[in-house]
Amino acid sequence: MILKLAWRNIWRSKLRTFTVMGAIIVGVVALVFYMGFMKGFVRTYVSNAIQNELSHLQIHNPAYPEDQEVQYYLSDVASLTQKIKQQPNVVAYTERTLVEAIALSARGSRGLQLRGIVPEQEAVVTKLNEKITQGVYFSESKYKNPVLISERLAEILKLKVKSKLVVQFQTVEGDIKLQTYKIAGLYKTSNKQFDEQNIFVPQSKIALSQTGEPIVHEIAILLKDADKLVETQTVLQNTVSDSSRYLVETYLEVSPDVALYETQMTASSSIVIFIVMIALIFGIINTMLMAVLERTKEFGMLLAVGMKRKQVFLMIITEAIMMALVATPVAMLVGAALLGYLGSVGIQMAALEQVGISEPIYPTIDWLSFLIIGVSVAFTTFFAALYPARKATKLQPVEALNSL
């Protein structure tokens, strides 16, 4: 009986019902969009970081991450790379020489990182060859000492393809060395900060020691299955065995800001859900309280003919929950359709280039987020209806029947 009465009651005043349902729909659609956008933002940010610079795993000399000095390089690289190749979850790897340097041109100078790479390996891991916007990649260059710089850095230093660039850096013996390179091409990634701070040369073109032997500071590894990230890290660390010589880290350990972004997005989503639910509570309380006041005589009559106060209380709670049960699925369908469209066309935001995202963001959401939103709305509606329902149970039948 309570269910039938509640269902009929909510459609007696369509304006009031649609007001409550409208508030729920707007709130839920906004939450679905926000959570989808945040998930898309984090996914794009992490994907860009992995693709452009970090990869899934990195191997360093244990002393390198703290000081990043040129003398903290990897030993016995050939044996190490052989062990990496034997791992079934490894797609590709690349060896890198990393040197803090100063780029000098006729128009100015700039501190940056000189990255010595094996061109064939880097092309597979980061697809650097596909990011060339002017000029050519190393494999097509005929220069003796070619270098790749970003479009942004070329603009800052007033350089172009075929220009000469002098780079100053320190060798492992502590000597200061000047090396002249010729710009073979300009590249552009989705990370503006990365572009301004990094230039690439073939590893063989950086003479860091008097012996002329290649110096490798970092090995970046790309995995087939990112879900097995920690498992592969553990296997590799056990395989290299000597932890005093090799440090195997995930991209989250190498770049804590990536993990921080994920944590912050989760926290901010929780805060936004809380704020929206609070606003929804006040909207439902206001509307339901107006409904109780408008139906004072009705409640008085129901109490007079024998309906118990707890039944009146339950009826009002049921009305509110029924409106939520009708509105929430509609809102989720609208939100899912909106995310489906935006997830296919993307959202371009130029302001995000400063944090390393120049590509469109493709919002996405999972079933767990829908479940969280649905449960939040259900609890919010229930608690919002408590005060109006309690207000109705306090009515005295005689006074209610005589009210205006």
Q: At what angle do helices 309-345 and 296-304 cross, to 10 degrees?
A: 140
- Domain end among 216, 245, 274: 245
pLDDT computed for residue 357 by the predictor: 64
Higher local confidence (pLDDT), 214 or 200: 200
Region 336-353 average pLDDT: 82
216 within domain boundaries: yes
Domain of 83, in residue numbers: 62-245
Task: Give which of 284, 281, 375 is closest to 328, Cα–Cα.
Answer: 375
With 90 as the cut, is the pLDDT of residue 60 above it?
A: yes
Among 57-66, 94-103, 262-271, the least confident range: 262-271
132 with 178, same domain: the answer is yes
With 70 as the cut, is the pLDDT of residue 356 above it?
A: no
The pLDDT tens digits for 71-97 are 999 999 999 999 999 999 999 999 999
With 70 as the cut, is the pLDDT of residue 351 above it?
A: no
pTM over 0.85? The answer is no
> Tokens in use for 214?
């290649």
68 with 210, same domain: the answer is yes
306 with 361, same domain: the answer is yes
pLDDT computed for residue 259 by the predictor: 74
Q: Total domain count for the chain?
A: 2
232 with 262, same domain: the answer is no
- Domain end among 215, 245, 275: 245
With 80 as the cut, is the pLDDT of residue 122 above it?
A: yes
CA-based angle 62:67:70, to the nearest 5? Answer: 85
Region 8-37 average pLDDT: 86
389 with 271, same domain: the answer is yes
Taking the CA atoms of the chain, what radius of gyration do you get in angstroms?
A: 32
Region 35-46 average pLDDT: 86
Q: How far apart are CA 117 and CA 125, in angstroms?
A: 11
Q: At what angle do helices 309-345 and 14-49 cross, to 10 degrees?
A: 40
Task: Give which of 95, 194, 100, 206 is closest to 149, Cα–Cα.
Answer: 194
92 with 168, same domain: the answer is yes
Is the CB of residue 342 less than 8 Å from the CB of residue 336? no
Whole-Å CA distances, 376 to 96, 227, 383: 49, 29, 11
292 with 230, same domain: the answer is no
pLDDT computed for residue 393 by the predictor: 79
Higher local confidence (pLDDT), 374 or 404: 374
With 60 as the cut, is the pLDDT of residue 404 above it?
A: no
41 with 66, same domain: the answer is no
Q: How far apart are CA 11 and CA 2, in angstroms?
A: 15
57 within domain boundaries: no
46 with 79, same domain: the answer is no
56 within domain boundaries: no
Cα dihedral 171, 177, 180, 186 in deg (nearest 10): 50
